[in-house]
Amino acid sequence: MSKKRRTIQWRDIGAPFAVFFAALALWEALVRWKNVPPYILPAPSVVFEKLIEDRELLFSSLMVTLGVTFEALVVATICGVALALLIAQSKWLERALLPFAITLQVTPIIAIAPLLLVYMQPGNAVLVCAFLVAFFPILSNTSLGLASVDFGLRDLFDLYHASPWQKLIYLRLPSALPQFLTGLRIGGGLALIGAIVAELAAGASGQGTGLAYRIVEAGFRLDIPRMFAALALISLSGLAIYGALAALSYVLLRGWHESARADQE
Amino acid sequence: MWAVTGAQMTASALVSLRNVGKIFPSGLVALADYDLDVRQGEILTLLGPSGCGKSTVLRLISGLSSPTAGSIDWSAPQIKNNIGFVFQDATLLPWASVFNNVFLPLRLSGLSRETASARVDEALAHVGLLDFSRSLPRELSGGMRMRCAIARALVTHPALIMMDEPFAALDEVTRFKLNDDLLTLKRRLSATIVFVTHSVFEAAYLSTRIIVMSRRAGRIIDEIEIDPAIARDDDYRSSKTFAEACRRASHALRVSIEEATR
């Protein structure tokens, strides 16, 4: 049983890695075979060399971008959950507040970012952009979770005269956990996208030190390998955020929720 | 042996429903002019086709729903605030262990884990789940989950327990076993039980009184009493008393269904 599980896990991990490295090898071979110059399309080995060569610069920019992403995600989580709880208390509040949240969600962040840069310091504007895109999925998923409590369990809590606080702590919050974690996973990825978009806007106006700024800067210098190196770091960061939040979700839901159980079987 | 009675007020009634009506917001009349006495210590089974209002009666008695007409009178007010309820599904918190599920009613009443621990263990011992107290619901079989739900209903030591088709989703063998376990528990704890089922055989085996309800607003078609002194075992399942109870309940059910399709 355990041997079988181990085999399945290797296959699961091995397949995407095999495809990824095969694609890199093909890319490398094509660039070398066709003698494509690095300012048109650098080979993966050149990008990797650039990554090593510029590691200090790129790493410090990565830390800036990740810092903003993390801060935005934390604030979006606190605000998203708080607003979801508020909305869950009354239909009136839901009707009054939800349209504003939806308006913020459907307005493209790339259109908001330049405006925010007019009114705020670049760092704050980037943070607000990342917050705005991460906030809505956390709010909507948590709201859905809070509203989807099993009717039988609601009856049970009513039968034992549970207070609203007891219902929240022992029933509604644990019931909403799977949906909240789904929102968090989506929000984590979007926070990074929001930060990058805002950094691009800030970078275009000559401000900012995040990874997106490095891409803009490298573009001005036609340093295409550095652009690819920064892009690779952004992709890896996105994967790492998703992986970390998926792992958190698995740990918290393991043993009782269908989504985590499906992975075990 | 047999005594068919109308719904009369009895001195030992734990709770009495008088002229109770329930009309849902959609306009559906679930109950109209419904009278029922639940007597101290009995196993009263409500039998009837789907939609006849059996579950509505349980919800009204337990306070999960309010009547739109009539009154529900209690012999003692404290009984009303301590009712055990076993739902059709086990309705367990999937994230909580068996212990925590059974502990829940006591936790909601403000008892600490230390204070409640002995009572939770006692309830788990009653249903044979003491060794599974740290298991999660998904690790249990359907029958064990239902035992856990029964333990949760027992943990507050209620005088009245409502059971809404608790064994309907179980296989026949598990159902027979749980029927016997329920009777053993009943003898040990002397609680009053109101049981809802679709099964004539289950009703005849468990009950000291069966009420057959019509689909038309819960009208009572027949009331069948079975001597509580008769031992409920395999011999009883093949006895004339059991066969007669089944025959009579089946006949009343047929009348109920014909009445509804008329």
Please identify, among B156, B182, B205, the residue that sits at the C-terminal boundary of a domain.
B156
Q: What is the mean pLDDT of residues B12-21?
A: 93
pLDDT band at A1 (very low <50, low <70, confident <90, very high): very low
A7 pLDDT higher than 60:
no
A116 pLDDT higher than 70:
yes
CATH number for the domain harbouring residue B21: 3.40.50.300
Amino acid at A118: V
Please give, rounded to a whole number of angstroms, the shortest distance from the CA of B15 to a CA of chain A.
17
Note whether A1 and A23 are same-domain residues.
yes
Per-residue pLDDT at A240: 95
Per-residue pLDDT at A110: 87
B81 near A CB under 8 A: yes
Note whether B55 and B183 are same-domain residues.
yes
Give me the residues of B, 105-124, that contact A with CB < 8 A: 105, 107-109
A162 near B CB under 8 A: yes
Parent domain of A27: 1-35
- Find chain B residues with C-beta within 8 A of A153's C-beta: 91, 93
The tokens of A135 are what? 């906030």
> How many beta carbons lie within 10 A of that of residue B57, not counting itself?
28
- Find chain A residues with C-beta within 8 A of B89's C-beta: 152
Contact B95 A166 (CB under 8 A): no
Could you write out the three-class secondary structure of A39-77?
A: CCCCCHHHHHHHHHHCHHHHHHHHHHHHHHHHHHHHHHH
Bridge-partner residues for B31, per DSSP?
B22
Contact A256 B137 (CB under 8 A): yes
Note whether B20 and B114 are same-domain residues.
no
Q: Are B208 and B225 in contact (CB under 8 A)?
A: yes
Give me the residues of A, 172-191, that contact B with CB < 8 A: 174, 177
Please identify, among B141, B156, B171, the residue that sits at the C-terminal boundary of a domain.
B156
Asked which of A70-79, A106-115, B109-118, B197-206 is least confident by mean pLDDT, the reply is A106-115
**Residue A239 belongs to some domain of the structure:** yes
Asked which of A95-104, A186-195, A230-239 is least confident by mean pLDDT, the reply is A95-104
Per-residue pLDDT at A204: 59
Note whether A135 and A230 are same-domain residues.
yes
B110 pLDDT higher than 50:
yes
Per-residue pLDDT at B1: 37
Note whether B102 and B63 are same-domain residues.
no
Q: What is the mean pLDDT of residues A22-28?
A: 96
B9 pLDDT higher than 70:
no
Note whether B178 and B71 are same-domain residues.
yes
Note whether A113 and A174 are same-domain residues.
yes
**Residue A86 belongs to some domain of the structure:** yes
Mind listing the pLDDT tens digit for each residue in B191-234?
999 999 989 999 999 999 999 998 878 889 999 999 999 999 98
**Residue A43 belongs to some domain of the structure:** no
A114 near B CB under 8 A: no
Parent domain of B63: 13-82+158-261
Please identify, among B119, B140, B156, the residue that sits at the C-terminal boundary of a domain.
B156
Mind listing the pLDDT tens digit for each residue in B156-197?
999 999 999 999 888 989 899 999 999 999 888 889 999 999
Cα–Cα distances (Å) from A166 to A79, A171, A174, A236, in that order, read 22, 8, 12, 42
Per-residue pLDDT at B105: 97
Give the C-alpha separation, B260 to B215, whole Å: 6
pLDDT band at A104 (very low <50, low <70, confident <90, very high): confident
Q: What is the mean pLDDT of residues A88-115?
A: 87
Bigger pLDDT: B142 vs A8: B142
Bigger pLDDT: B6 vs B183: B183
pLDDT band at A101 (very low <50, low <70, confident <90, very high): confident
Note whether A204 and A151 are same-domain residues.
yes
The strand pair at B13-23 and B29-39 is best described as antiparallel
Nearest CA in chain B to A150: B91
Nearest CA in chain A to B162: A159
A257 near B CB under 8 A: yes
Residues 6+ away with beta carbon under 8 Å from A17:
none
From the list A153, A170, A255, the residue facing B136 with the nearest CB is: A255
Asked which of A118-127, A147-156, A197-206, B7-16 is least confident by mean pLDDT, the reply is B7-16
Bridge-partner residues for B224, per DSSP?
B210
B113 pLDDT higher than 80:
yes
Please give, rounded to a whole number of angstroms, the shortest distance from the CA of B218 to a CA of chain A.
22
Per-residue pLDDT at A257: 86
Q: How many domains does one find in chain A?
A: 2
pLDDT band at B4 (very low <50, low <70, confident <90, very high): very low
- Mutation pick from B62, B104, B107 vs chain A, by most beta carbons of A within 10 Å, is B104
Cα–Cα distances (Å) from A67 to A74, A238, B183, in that order, read 11, 13, 63
Q: What is the mean pLDDT of residues A245-264?
A: 82
- Find chain B residues with C-beta within 8 A of A171's C-beta: 93
Asked which of A10-14, A222-226, B249-253 is least confident by mean pLDDT, the reply is A10-14
Which residue's entry shows tokens 């263990």? B121
> How many beta carbons lie within 10 A of that of residue B116, not counting itself?
21
A161 near B CB under 8 A: yes
CA angle in degrees (0–180, nearest 5) for A51-A54-A57: 120
A234 pLDDT higher than 50:
yes
Mean pLDDT (chain A, rounded): 90
Which residue's entry shows tokens 């709010």? A139
Question: What percent of chain A has a predicted confidence (pLDDT) above 90?
Answer: 69
Contact B104 A170 (CB under 8 A): yes
Per-residue pLDDT at B257: 81
**Its pTM surpasses 0.90:** no
**Residue B207 belongs to some domain of the structure:** yes
A265 pLDDT higher than 70:
no
For residue B19, which of B1, B4, B31 has the smallest C-alpha distance? B31
Contact A256 B64 (CB under 8 A): no
Contact B93 A177 (CB under 8 A): no
Contact B63 A159 (CB under 8 A): yes
Q: What is the mean pLDDT of residues A216-239?
A: 94
A2 pLDDT higher than 70:
no
Asked which of A202-211, A220-229, B113-122 is least confident by mean pLDDT, the reply is A202-211
Could you write out the three-class secondary structure of B6-30?
A: CCCCCCCEEEEEEEEEEECCCCCEE
Asked which of A118-127, A133-142, A184-193, B32-41 is least confident by mean pLDDT, the reply is A118-127
Amino acid at B254: R
> How many beta carbons lie within 10 A of that of residue B135, not counting itself?
15
Asked which of A34-48, A68-82, A119-133, A251-265 is least confident by mean pLDDT, the reply is A251-265
Which range scores top for mean pLDDT: A8-12, A140-144, B7-11? A140-144
Contact B91 A150 (CB under 8 A): yes
Note whether A53 and A161 are same-domain residues.
yes
Per-residue pLDDT at A13: 77
How far is Cα of residue A220 from the mean position of the Cα atoms in its chain? Answer: 28
Residues 6+ away with beta carbon under 8 Å from A98:
A87
**What DSSP string describes chain B?**
------S---TTEEEEEEEEEEE-TTS-EEEEEEEEEEETT-EEEEE-STTSSHHHHHHHHHTSS--SEEEEEESSHHHHTSEEEE-SS----TTS-HHHHHHHHHHHTT--HHHHHHHHHHHHHHTT-GGGTTS-GGGS-HHHHHHHHHHHHHTT--SEEEEESTTTTS-HHHHHHHHHHHHHHHHHH--EEEEEES-HHHHHHH-SEEEEE-TTTT-EEEEEE--TTS--SHHHHTSHHHHHHHHHHHHHHHHHHHHHH-
Q: What is the mean pLDDT of residues B8-36?
A: 87
Q: How many domains does one find in chain B?
A: 2
Per-residue pLDDT at B187: 87
Residues 6+ away with beta carbon under 8 Å from A116:
A125, A128, A129, A198
Note whether A96 and A23 are same-domain residues.
no
Note whether A31 and A147 are same-domain residues.
no
**Residue A114 belongs to some domain of the structure:** yes
